[in-house]
Structure 1
Amino acid sequence: MMEDPPDVESLVSGLVSENDAARKYAVFKLQGMLSDPSFADAFIQGDGLLALRQAVLETTGNTQAYAFGSLDALLELDMGWEALDGPIIEKAVSLAVSHPLVNTVRNALTLLVLVVSRPLTGARRESNEASGFRAIKPALDSHPEFLECLVQRLSASDHLLCANALQLVNALMRDAVINGGEQEWPKFVRRLQDLGVIGGVGMLMRGDAAGDLSSPLASAILEFQNLTKVLLRKWKEVRVNVELPEHKRALKTIHLLSRPEPYNPPVADDDADGKPPKRHHPEKWRRLGFETESPAWEFDETGYLGMMDVVDYTKRNQDAYHKVLMEQSVQPKEQRCPIARASLSVTVILYEHFQIDEAIELGSAGSEARHMGSRPTDADTAYRPLLLQWGRLHVAALNAFLRIWKVAGAELEDFYKIDEIVRIIVERVVGTASRRTDVSKVEEELRSVTLETARKWQMEGLDDIYADAWGPHLQQVREQLHHESLQFMKEQRVRCLLKGAWFPASMATAGRTGPWRYVRLSHNRRWLHHLEYASKGSNEPALADLIEKIDLDVVTSVDSNVSASEEQQPLMNGDNSSSETLKDSQQHVGSTTTTKITVMGNASKSNTEESVLLELFPQTASEASEWLDGLLMLLNQQPITKDTTSLIDMMVDWGVRLRMLNLRWEDVDWDALDQRVNGVEIEAREVPSREGLDNDYYYAMPEA
């Protein structure tokens, strides 16, 4: 028989009871029943708030945890706020710092999240009621270690406790951005970062506990990720102003860490207006990679985010920074890589790669969480832990920029070409990293990517652009070219058979003195003539002398151990009818005498029993490819050797490229085209004029 739920009067009596068991029973029942708005309203009308507040402040252990849980349930219904005052918040902060009981700390953190996240409505705004961070600041002043303890909770073994701690971190960051003012929120965010919040959240992102995207921990992680994007966007929106002390200090840091040599201006008379000559180097900022001696405007695209990145790079790489500047000082100006300009370029690349502008705007509490309904269902695509390592990624990508510039022998006019290559490198290396990939591995890959590899990726990306632009037409062209290339290779291979060739008569005598067989296809391509000789002749026998012949109509299959590719693949029974596993022809053909092609068929048209009609032992890989694929294509079957298929693919690839020379960029249907390829926006471009140009040009074909 089920127990009837207690009424409000008995629960209130239990809350104020001197009996610990009665109090514990009352708050245990209460925290579940208060999720019902009608019961919560009845509880408040029955003077339950004062009793609940007393239980929160006076009880201990699980009873206190249940009491906090009951108060949390009321606040989540936006009820019972009048019971919340300084002593309650002080108690929650104190417990969150030092209490050993996990469920007590969880419920105390939940209460603080609700307090910080409570929206400031019109009536509360008019009453100047403390909200957000200001509501808990007096309690935090009494516990200066609170934020450090909060960040440490991110590594707790209890996943729900981690989620609650991260929810409070998110709430504090969100409130700092919305209500903290332009000068305060950056300081608060940096303080959290100094305490290790980035490492704590990154560890959660890579862990198994966050794999379930429906869990509270996953929601907290995704909200923190979005907040990180919002902060990056806000830093980008802050305009650089050299009149501000912080911005002025940042520029001074960039200059001083370059270790400038003392500048002694040439001796000269005072200027016409009577002022002494300037004492700073005439290229003070241009030597650092800025375009002018007034660098503030060069941060227009990246804002203060770009300045932070330049400063961070110079601090992390002081020796390398100075060394690069010294190396470039002896080079012609057009060959120097502008470090500052490259740094700002990398900032833009990372900003666009992580799609920072798509971050969800901060509004009322929980707006981000509600938006998460459209989030991915796969943790590996949902989480971007490398986003949290912005500074390290920027440094690594900028070092890659400088290295590629040097290897390519680039000049200033090539800046945008190097920029595009680095953009591709970031897209490939950072974009393909999984959520469990450590940032150190990404840094190593950025250090080791060669210019040749980057250019290969660039060509692949170009192919994707054209494929998206011309879609079905390009596919139709490729299919047509494949058919034409296949017919061309068939004719080439068959011509090899028409020419004829010498083969050892058996495997035992292959490569040695012994009988040889000459094989040749008839002019009408219906008969395969052959004859065995005592030795390999210096001349090619006439077709009329080859009295033994095989009617190709009775050939049923061609077996071989010649490879179709470097990976071992079987010939297709039913099509190519091979019964043996293919071996690597590059390893076997030419270096040994075991390569064999077996022509199978019926002894006559009336005899349906399959038998060996002829065995060939090619001496080179190319000869094996010519005869095996030639015989297969004569039987209207597909070629299988690597040599033949590679040649066909090469002809198709270059055929497509040559066909595309006849297409114009303005032919693209831009309305139908999704103008994003690999995350890079593709804009419609004006085709340059050919006025004054002739047709004297050529195309360099790379080696196959």
Structure 2
Amino acid sequence: MDQAEIPSLLSRLASDEDASRKMAAFKLQSSINDPSFADVFISSGGLVILRRLIMNSGGNTLAYSLQSLSRLLEVDMGWEIFDSPTSGDLVDRVVELVVSNPLVNILRGAMSILVALVGHSPPESTPGTFGSRALRPAIAVYPQFFELVIQKLQSADHALCATTLSLINALIRDAISNEDTSRGNTTSSGTGEEWPKFIKRLQDLGLIKSVYTHMQSAALQDLAHPLLEFQCLTKVLVKKWRHVKVDLERPEHRRALKSIHLSSAPSKDNLNGNGDTKVEEVQEMGKKGSRKHHPEKWRRLGFETESPASEFHSIGFLGMMDLTDYVKKNEDDFQKLLLEQSTRPLYERCPVARASMAVTLILYDHFGCGNSDIEDTRSLFQIIDSKQQDKMFHPLLLQWSRLHTAGLQAFFRLWKNTGAEQHDFDKVMELVRILIERVVSQASRHKDIIEIEEEFLEYDLARLRELQTNLLSASFEDRWGELFSTVRQGLKQEALTFVKEQRVRCLLQGSWFSKPAPRKESRGEDLQTRRATHGTLWRYAKLSHNRRYLHWADFGLRTGQEPALEALTEKVDLRMVSSVMSNVSERKGDASSTDLSTSKHSTKITIYGFVTPEEARKGAEGKEEPVLTLYPLSDSSASEWLDGLLMLLEQAPITAETNKLLELVADYGVKIRLLKVPLEATYTDPPAGAGMVPSRDGLDDDYYYNI
């Protein structure tokens, strides 16, 4: 619309005819976000007319007027409409529309105006004109305001939901950013409440549940910006709660600590003094003049001292909130756990309170709450690619309480399964950290908290240990690089020595082998006759104690008792063996198989020897001939004998089973060493000079070992 048409537009806006006002208001909303147009409109007295329309009109005319004012405020113009002595009436009118008007197009405009009003903070303004304080008089008239606002998050209109959440974000941001330093850790909200009470009030009205549902929905893109802002504000709130010091001079803190004690089902002797349980009389234990109490009143709950308030210094009131919430919702389990722990020695008891604070800190670090700042919420309005949504949004942050409970229960389970003692606390905590990082980090945006809780239960100790060592290995290798590779190579050599000894011991123990029967047989003869007539069907081989000869002999029957070395009439001098050939490495069957029907006669090991000592001296070019053939009864036996013989000849093993065993032994060596490494060393660079071989310059032979 041309600026020259503004006088005519204002005339129609002020007309007594509803149709004329409606059409003019419709045109106004499409032009007023042009700053040059808006400047002329304001200077021509347009704000007075626009205010009159908002105060007195209804239907579409009202909707267009509200939208016009909202768009005017979006370009940071027209704020003087709230500076007049009657601005309070305008705010009352907008709040009234939010509370009582059912039309979506009117609600969207009214909500947008309140978002701008609460979020506006000019350098100079009359106190109470802007911010959440500007709503306080109207909210006093309509105390159901917050309840009705949160209900609108369930609207089918996504634009209204987005605007409603933007209003809630503005109220929360205003409440926590205007902190009254003279009152310590309290902040006044738009309702005159301290910010913690204001936030709790919104949560009790179902705010978290509604936002959590939207964050998991398919319509996320329509609410992306306010949802991302709410997520950031949630982290800011968590950070603020952590920095609220637990102070027993504050009634809510005393009540929280007292509720933890009472939920533990203490005996009368554990209650203060004469058993008086008045909350107002709880005092911090350890202070001069405090009431006498049971010497383990707080230690039995998992605190390190009898002054529990001081132990929340690292996690603040956030830690107390989480512990209180767990105790309140799991009172029976809490009491049973304490009862079970009371039967154990003190050093074996799981410190429940310490574990709760540890899990809180793990969640705090996982979600990066310490890096959040109130100013971050003002720079989130960028285009959000739908492909990035699963990475940017973390609905599980809104399920903090249930995540804390699941993590704490996992701590209790791991403590029991590992047989941990007090000095193992940090080790169990690290396992819980890995569990939370693994399960929560890999959860998609659509995964519900119930599925997460089930995954927490599915991770047993063995699986966590494997995950822990893999993570340590990756971190250690990344940080220590070449030094770690050197350690691995050394462990592989140790593993080769170990496996060689194991395989050779199999040869020293001896084994039975099958022997193919001659092809020509009399079918009418029984087994004993065939064996007597056509030869033997069994062969036994055993390595001599000095590991120089392989003794063997053939037998007609496989006896239960292993033949003595003296009964093995044949022998092979291993110094004359030139090579060992087999089809074992080509077989892919189960290494533990003992099914003779499938392995008998199919696996063959042939030992070749030099014809004469002269040929042996020629080495690889010497003439050789087969000196012994073995038919192992199982794949495991084949692997043991083939690789055992090769390793005796100083050759590398070739079977899959032996190589798997080598990897297993070396891997266990790495894991054992990693688990002995202090955690801080895993994630730090090696010290200067680490891994360098010291020089012997200047050293002589004058040294000794102090044994």
Fold similarity call, TM over 0.5: yes
The aligned counterpart of 1:621 is 635
Q: Structure 2 CA distance, aligned partners of 1:347 and 1:540?
A: 73
Following superposition of structure 1 onto structure 2, how do residues 448-527 of structure 1 map, counting pairs within 5 Å? Answer: 448-474=458-484
CA contact (8 A) 2:538 2:558 kept: no
**2:228 paired residue number:** 222
Distance, in Å, in 1 between the alignment partners of 2:371 and 2:297 is: 37
Correspondence for 2:261: 255
Match of 1:420 in 2: 430
> Cα offset for 1:627?
11
Take 2:654 and 2:137, find their aligned partners in 1: how far apart are those partners?
78
Distance 1:157 1:595 in 2: 75
Output the CA distance in 2 between the equivalents of 1:483 and 1:503: 36
Cα shift at 1:249: 1.5
Question: Which residue identity does 1:235 align to in structure 2?
Answer: W
**1:173 counterpart = 2:187:** no
- Correspondence for 2:552: none
Structure 2 SS opposite 1:337: coil
Does residue 325 (structure 1) correspond to residue 325 (structure 2)? The answer is no
Q: How does 1:147-162 map to 2 (within 5 A)?
A: 147-162=146-161
After the TM superposition, which residues 338-377 of structure 1 pair with which residues of structure 2 at under 5 Å, given as runs? 338-362=351-375, 367-369=378-380
Q: Counterparts in 2 of 1:421-440, with a 5 A limit?
A: 421-440=431-450
Q: 2:657 aligns with which of 616, 622, 643?
A: 643
In structure 2, do the counterparts of structure 1 residues 33 and 358 end up closer, same or farther at CA, with 3 Å as the change threshold? same
1:25 aligns with 2:33: no
1:293 pairs with one of 290, 306, 319: 306
Distance 2:26 2:601 in 1: 82
Partner of 2:110: 108
- Contact 2:512–2:633 (Cα < 8 Å) also in 1: no
Q: Aligned to 2:420, what secondary structure does the other structure show?
A: coil
- Name whichever of 108-117 and 434-443 sits farther off: 434-443
- Residue 76 of structure 1 corresponds to 74
Residue deviations 1:475-496, cap 9 Å, x none? 5776898899999999x99xx9
* TM-score, normalised relative to structure 2: 0.70
Report the count of equivalent residues.
Answer: 595
How far, CA to CA, are the matches of 2:227 and 2:410 in structure 1?
A: 30
Amino acid at match of 1:413: H
Larger radius of gyration: 2
1:562 maps to: 588
2:49 to 31, 48, 51: 51
Q: Would the aligned equivalents of 1:350 and 1:394 in 2 still touch at CA under 8 Å?
A: yes
Deviation of residue 595 (structure 1)? 11
Q: What displacement does 1:392 show?
A: 1.6
Contact 1:597 1:628 in 2 (8 A): no
Match of 2:204 in 1: 194
Match of 1:410?
420
Paired with 1:483 and 1:291, the residues of 2 have a C-alpha distance of 47
Aligned counterpart, 1:246: 252
TM-fit CA distance, 1:651: 5.4
C-alpha distance in structure 2 between counterparts of 1:658 and 1:318, whole Å? 39
Q: 1:307 aligns with which of 320, 327, 330?
A: 320
Shift of the 439–655 alpha-carbon distance from structure 1 to 2, 3 Å rule, reads: closer
SS of 1:29's partner is: helix
201 and 248 in structure 1: CA distance in 2 versus 1, 3 angstrom threshold = same
Report the Cα distance in structure 1 between the residues aligned to 2:47 and 2:423, rounded to whole angstroms: 73
- 36, 39, 49: which one aligns with 2:37: 39
The separation in 2 between residues aligned to 1:266 and 1:53, in whole angstroms, is 66
Q: Following the alignment from structure 1 to structure 2, what is the Cα–Cα distance between the partners of residues 71 and 397?
A: 49
**Distance in 2 of aligned mates of 1:655 and 1:473:** 15
Please tell me whether residue 141 in structure 1 is matched to residue 167 in structure 2: no
Distance 1:444 1:658, change over 3 A: closer
| Letter paired with 1:562 | K
CA distance in 1, matches of 2:69, 2:151: 25
Distance 1:651 1:293, change over 3 A: closer
Task: State the distance in 1 between where 2:665 and 2:69 align.
Answer: 74
Matched, 1:89 2:99: no
TM-superposed CA distance for 1:298, in Å, is 0.8
Please, which moves more after superposition, 162-171 or 93-102?
93-102
Counterpart residue number, 1:679:
none
The C-alpha deviation readout for 1:557-592, integer Å capped at 9, x for no partner, is 9997736xxxxxxxxxxxxxxxxxxxx777897674
Q: Which consecutive residues of structure 2, in runs of 5 or more, have no partner in the other structure?
A: 181-185, 188-193, 275-287, 522-526, 540-555, 560-567, 573-580, 605-629, 645-651, 688-704
TM value normalised by structure 1 = 0.70
Indicate if the aligned counterparts of 2:585 and 2:654 stay in contact, CA closer than 8 A.
Answer: no
Please report how far the alpha carbon of residue 469 of structure 1 lies from its aligned counterpart in structure 2 after TM superposition: 1.5
Q: Distance in 1 between matches of 2:349 and 2:494?
A: 49
- Taking the aligned partners of 2:62 and 2:167, their CA distance within structure 1 comes to 20
Displacement of 1:135 after TM fit? 0.8
Deviation at 1:187, TM superposition (A): 0.6
Q: Give the corresponding residue for 2:183.
A: none
After the TM superposition, which of the residue ranges 462-471 and 220-229 deviates more from structure 2? 462-471
> What is the Cα deviation at residue 471 of structure 1?
2.5
Q: Which moved more, 1:9-18 or 1:386-395?
A: 9-18
Q: CA 1:587–1:32 in structure 2 vs 1: closer, same or farther (change >3 Å)?
A: farther
Q: Compute the RMSD of aligned alpha carbons.
A: 5.1
Q: Distance in 1 between matches of 2:41 and 2:34?
A: 10
Change beyond 3 A, Cα 1:591–1:349: farther
- Identity score, percent: 45
Deviations 1:241-277 (A, max 9, x none): 112222122221112222221129999xxxxxxx999
Matched, 1:132 2:134: no
Partners of 2:671 and 2:636 in 1: CA distance: 27
How far is the alpha carbon of 1:425 from its aligned partner? Answer: 2.1
Question: What is the Cα deviation at residue 82 of structure 1?
Answer: 2.2
| Distance in 1 separating the partners of 2:390 and 2:474 | 24
| Counterpart Cα distance in 1 of 2:468 and 2:124 | 59
Deviation at 1:152, TM superposition (A): 1.9
Residues 600 and 633, structure 2, Cα contact 8 Å, conserved in 1: no
2:442 is equivalent to residue 443 of structure 1 = no
Q: Answer whether contact 1:502 1:536 (CA < 8 A) is retained.
A: no
Tell me which amino acid in the other structure corresponds to 1:367: R
Residue 433 of structure 1 aligns to a residue whose secondary structure is coil
Task: Return the alpha-carbon distance in structure 1 between the equivalents of residues 671 and 350 of structure 2.
Answer: 33
Match for residue 295 of structure 2 among 279, 282, 301: 282
Residue 230 of structure 2: SS of its match in structure 1?
Answer: helix
Q: Distance in 1 between matches of 2:654 and 2:62?
A: 76
2:610 paired residue number: none
Indicate if the aligned counterparts of 1:430 and 1:442 stay in contact, CA closer than 8 A: yes
396-405 vs 85-94, which moves further = 85-94
> In the superposition, relative to structure 1, how do residues 585 and 88 fare at CA in structure 2: closer, same or farther (>3 Å)?
farther
CA gap of 1:453–1:49, structure 2 versus 1, over 3 A, is same
CA offset digits 1:98-148 (Å, max 9, x no partner) = 4333232222111111011011x3321xx3243211111222223222212
Give yes or no for contact 2:322–2:401 (8 Å, CA) kept in 1.
yes
Give CA-to-partner distance per residue, 1:15-70, whole Å, 9 cap, x none: 22333333333222222222221111111122221222223233333332222111
* Equivalent position amino acid for 2:406 in 1: A
Residue 263 of structure 1 aligns to which amino acid in structure 2?
D
Residues 222/663 of structure 1: CA separation in 2 closer, same or farther (3 Å cut): closer
d(CA) in 1 for partners of 2:273, 2:240: 45
The offset of 1:186, in angstroms, is 0.5
Q: One-letter code of the match for 1:369?
A: L
User: What amino acid is the match of 2:449?
Assistant: V
Shift of 1:160: 1.8
Report the alpha carbon displacement of residue 197 of structure 1 after superposing the two structures with TM.
0.8
- AA partner of residue 134 (structure 1): R
The alpha-carbon deviation at position 228 of structure 1 amounts to 0.9
- The residue aligned with 1:580 is none
